[in-house]
Amino acid sequence: MRDQNAGTRRRKLGASFAVLALILAACQGGGAGDYPNQPITIVVPFAAGGPTDTVTRLIAEPMAADLGVEIVVQNVEGAGGTVAADQVANAEPDGYTVLMHHIGMSTAPTLYPDLSYDPLADFATIGLVTEVPMTFIGSPNFEPTTMEELITYVEENLDTVTYANAGIGAASQLCGLLFETATGLDLTEVPYEGTGPAMDDLLGDQVDFMCDQTTNTSEPILAGEVKAYAVTTPERVESLPDVPTTEEVGLTDLQVSVWHGLYVPAETPQEIVDALNAALVVAIQDEGVVTRLAELGTAPVPEDRATPEAHTELLQSQIDLWRPIIEEAGVTGS
Ligand code: MLT
């Protein structure tokens, strides 16, 4: 005799299996609902001890506390930050691999015509973190003591003066390019894996000068360990009151500050982006973070800029801003 209820039982059994599969996936971390349930890695595209690393480690602590999991900072150096960005673009879109990057995210597409990723299409933005002024500094025994003297000295010693940067795509490389454009001088560049190691060599008089973020230069400037020639923002930096602006020393068009933001791979679920953004907002309001960044010549962005929308908008506008300047200078990394 035909079982009239067999179809209903099969459907019920199927539904039970589907529910079981969902529970299992959630237990294994397969769903966004239980995110995060394991350590998160923030990939930093430059060497440990440098300015990007410093900002990342500062915000990692309050973010970890908010998310309730450990955050591991991993330095993946190379090719001006593009090796790290490529790694994160190809990571699982599960929120456990996050990229911290800076202004270099916007210069890379022009500097590297064969770039393996698209900064806009291959990433989801989490939000902006901070904007950092840059400073021109010289090694302890480098002769020039002012920007005027520096320009004259470089002009007269073009073959021997060395300029440190963190590779093509680094903020220090962009700042050097702006210096070249403003002065008409062609610098002899010495590339490092980050301005952390570049600073070590500069302090040891192995390289002559560089333009680097105040998050790396404030302490040696205030300790009188390096020469400080100018800060690259329209206004002087509060914590470095004796350092003139580029405008004050006659380099009117040489202005740049280094914005930082967090990214995950493009396919990352929205709930994960929201969780990371909420943790970022907590971090930029953290008293310890605010105080330390002020000591280092900067501040977190206001909350309305720590959003995916503000971040994407800035990234797009900066790609458009830097493209003609880089093309005009004829610099390329590939
Ligand atoms: C770093 O962390 O080393 C940098 O941000 C270097 C740079 O971009 O100049």
For residue 23, pLDDT beyond 50: no
Task: Tell me how far the alpha carbon of residue 5 lies from the centroid of ligand 1, in angstroms.
Answer: 69
Is 195 a pocket residue for ligand 1 (Cβ < 6 Å)? Answer: yes
pLDDT in tens, 138-158: 999 999 999 999 999 999 999
User: Looking at ligand 1, which atom is closest to the CA of residue 175?
Assistant: 9
Do 80 and 168 meet the contact criterion of CB atoms below 8 Å apart? yes
For range 53-82, the mean pLDDT: 98
What is the model's pLDDT at position 206?
A: 98
Please tell me the predicted confidence (pLDDT) of residue 333: 87
Percent of the chain topping pLDDT 90 = 88
**pLDDT value at residue 18:** 42
pLDDT for position 254? 97
Q: What is the pTM of this model?
A: 0.89
In which band, very low, low, confident or very high, does the pLDDT at 31 lie, cut at 50, 70 and 90?
low
Calculate how far, in angstroms, residue 141's C-alpha sits from the geometric centre of ligand 1.
23
* Ligand 1 atom, smallest distance to 174 CA: 9
Q: Which atom of ligand 1 is nearest to the CA of 103?
A: 8
Residue 6 has pLDDT above 90, yes or no: no
230-240 pLDDT, tens digit each: 999 999 999 99
Mean pLDDT of 48-66: 98
Q: Is the CB of 174 under 6 A from ligand 1?
A: no
Is the pLDDT reported for residue 242 higher than 90?
A: yes
Residue 317 pLDDT exceeds 50: yes
pLDDT digits (tens, 9 = 90+) for 201-222: 999 999 999 999 999 999 999 9
Check if 170 has its Cβ closer than 6 Å to any atom of ligand 1.
yes
Residue 8 CA, ligand 1 centroid: distance in Å: 64
pLDDT number for residue 33:
82
